[in-house]
Chain A
Amino acid sequence: MAIPFGRTLACALLLAVGLGFALSNARVEAWQALLPLFEWMETTLFGVIGKTWGGVFAVVQAGHLLSMAMLGGAVLAADGRLLGVLFRDQPLAAVQAQAHRVFVWSLVVVVFTGVFMACGVAIKIYYLPVFWYKMLALLVGVLFAFLVRRPLLADDPETLSPLVRRVVAVASIMVWFTVAATGRWIGFSG
């Protein structure tokens, strides 16, 4: 027996838990508890390679930036179509399906190269507030993409309310813009 508006209630509950965590002391305690993990990250093979060979770090960073560009392109194509400003001559479902495939693969590369880069500068980023904003935006973006946006567009997106389509597209662009912008901000910090 399904709960009416179960997904909406789960979403509201998740938002309430997130807000409670952000406003409570649990956030600071979690941050302090993560320090040993970041110290360990610098001692791993990735951390040693990242710190010792600048050339390897640069190559991985290039891969990270290229996959971020691909991810951004997939987001703009999919959300541009949802907003009705791009690929208007193509079926909505086809654009969403193809853009999602590119999105998933580029996300995998972004996360893998991001972990490598983070290992090389783990202690530096641990103390950067903007790194945590990026991680929060990334988590929100992934949850939004797979638990909200994807199920919404799974069956016949043409029949969705135009308001919902536009609001979802704007939110999606905003989240991934923040992930990219805060990422560059980390690059220019300290």
Chain B
Amino acid sequence: MNDSPDARKKDRQAAALLASASIIVAFAIYWSLEIQAVREMLELAYG
């Protein structure tokens, strides 16, 4: 098993990429759904 500083750094970068990409995708989906809900509400209210 390789526990060199280089391997540790690669692990931290991979974990950061995975976590960040998941956050960006999840929050982009959440906000797009919220914006869609507001648009539908405005269409119902004002046509």
Contact = CB atoms under 8 A, between A and B. Distances in A.
Q: What bracket does the count of chain B residues touching chain A fall in?
A: 20 to 34
A178 B20 CA distance: 14
B27 A174 contact: yes
B40 interface: no
Interface residues of A, number: 34
A150 to B, nearest CB: 10
Contacts of B45: none
Contacts of B41: none
A35 B3 CA distance: 46
Interface stretch (A8-16, A41-49, A60-68): A8-16
A152 interface: yes
Contacts of B42: none
B29 to A, nearest CB: 12
A6 interface: yes
B27 A168 contact: no
A149 B16 contact: yes
A6 B2 CA distance: 11
A179 to B, nearest CB: 11
B27 A15 contact: no
A8 B2 contact: no
A167 B3 contact: no
Interface in A11-29: 11-12, 15
A148 interface: yes
Interface string B1-12: 111010101111
A186 to B, nearest CB: 14
A188 to B, nearest CB: 13
Interface in A130-153: 133, 137, 140, 144, 148-149, 151-152
Contacts of A172: 20
B14 A4 contact: no
A11 B18 contact: yes
A175 B30 CA distance: 11
